[in-house]
Structure 1
Amino acid sequence: MIKRNLLVIGLAVLLSACGFQLRGTGTTDLALKELDLSARDAYGDTVTQLRQMLVSSGVKVYNGAPYKLILTDQQESQRILSYAGAGRTGEYQLSTVLSYDIRGQGNLPLLNDKLEVQKVFIHDGNNLVGSDQEAADARKEMRRELVQRMMLRLQQFTPAQLDQLQQTAEAKAKAEAAALEAAQKAEANTPRQSPIDLPRQ
């Protein structure tokens, strides 16, 4: 018995040393320790679950944080994959696309991207209540997967990458400001043509 316990402990140590983690266990280590999170649907399920996941991972979520994650849009769609005759049973595919922006200091845009998840469920025309429940469960699972994917996406950012994105955004903003100023000066220095006085008849 003791040998078996030692073997299990030894295997667990080896797996953890290799970076292996069971799905849904462990903590998500993020370089973003402070984050301003907002969404078009401020009280929607996706943003609420994401906020809870961030807080449980040690991220301080508050307005005015140095970095801002904005869930700009969430589109859901449904299509029929297959259709089976008189019983009106068929396979349906649900898709959800979540678009988001990440903004840095000075509210400068650092990145905009999107995540997409899909789920297939069976619709049974003879069991509408059961089919509706299966569709609702599929949507719930898709939201959970979206949140997990967003956490993984955020986990990929290192402090160096965030600094680089911030520097790139600042350089772009300066270049755009300089171009705008040059265009305004050129317009101001361009002589304006005076109206032509036409001879009176």
Structure 2
Amino acid sequence: MIKRNLLVMGLAVMLSACGFQLRGTGANDLNIRELDLSARNAYGDTVKQLRTALENNGVKVYSGAPYHLVLTNEQDTQRAATYTGGTRSAEYELTTVVSYVVQGLNNAELLSDTLEVHKMYVHDGNNITGSDLEAQRVRKEMRNNVVQGLMLRLQQLTPAQLDELQRKADLRAKAEAEQMEAARRAQDATPQQSPMEVPAN
């Protein structure tokens, strides 16, 4: 039995050393191999963690990549969910909302979405320091969840889907440009009314 367990463990180590990973156990199935990444908060922890996660999964992150992921907004909020009078403790709900956009050629918006994470924690009024540390721990966990969620959403995108979204974005841009050109021509073709002349007395 011991020999069998050692054999299984040895095979697992060998396979992991070769880069093998069971499908669904990680976010290493990304179809996007090149990506530009930016955020409104360029030095925030979320964008830093996301960059590291992408690079660890074989994605080349650099300016000028074919696709650009932009974290357009990130908000952390807190609200009291329940109160307990005598012990001065309250349960708080923490929320993190991240909005993002994926851009293609010519900064065309291919898709946009929002990711939300909610968690609860108990704030003890008799142990403010401990409660603050707990809130920080929960926020860190939520940030990890946000990064995992973004990786999973990127994992679902394929080059074919992005190419189709780019084609539709190009058609929209072309239609808008044609409408603007038609409006300009119509305005140029319309005679401009001269100022009304007031007869001299």
Shift in Å, 1:158: 1.1
Shift in Å, 1:85: 0.4
- Name the Cα RMSD after superposition: 2.2
In structure 2, what is the Cα distance between the partners aligned to 1:187 and 1:31?
47
Residue correspondence of structure 1 range 176-191 to structure 2 within 5 A = 176-191=176-191
In structure 1, what is the Cα distance between the partners aligned to 2:27 and 2:173?
36
Shift in Å, 1:5: 3.8
Residue correspondence of structure 1 range 1-201 to structure 2 within 5 A = 1=1, 5=5, 19=23, 21=25, 26-201=26-201
In structure 2, what is the Cα distance between the partners aligned to 1:76 and 1:186?
49
Shift in Å, 1:3: 8.5
Aligned residues: 193
When normalised by structure 1's length, the TM-score is 0.89
DSSP 3-state at the match of 2:53:
helix
Is the contact between residue 104 and residue 110 of structure 2 (CA under 8 Å) also seen in structure 1? yes
In structure 2, what is the Cα distance between the partners aligned to 1:146 and 1:37?
15
Q: Could you say if the C-alpha distance between residues 58 and 174 of structure 1 is closer, same or farther in structure 2, counting changes exceeding 3 Å?
A: same
Shift in Å, 1:86: 2.6
Shift in Å, 1:160: 1.1
In structure 2, what is the Cα distance between the partners aligned to 1:70 and 1:77?
21
Q: After TM superposition, which residue ranges in structure 1, 4 or more long, deviate above 2 angstroms?
A: 2-9, 18-21
Gap runs ≥5 in structure 1: none
When normalised by structure 2's length, the TM-score is 0.89
In structure 2, what is the Cα distance between the partners aligned to 1:108 and 1:68?
10
Shift in Å, 1:29: 1.5
Give the percent of matched residue pairs that are identical in Structure 1 and Structure 2: 58
Shift in Å, 1:27: 4.8
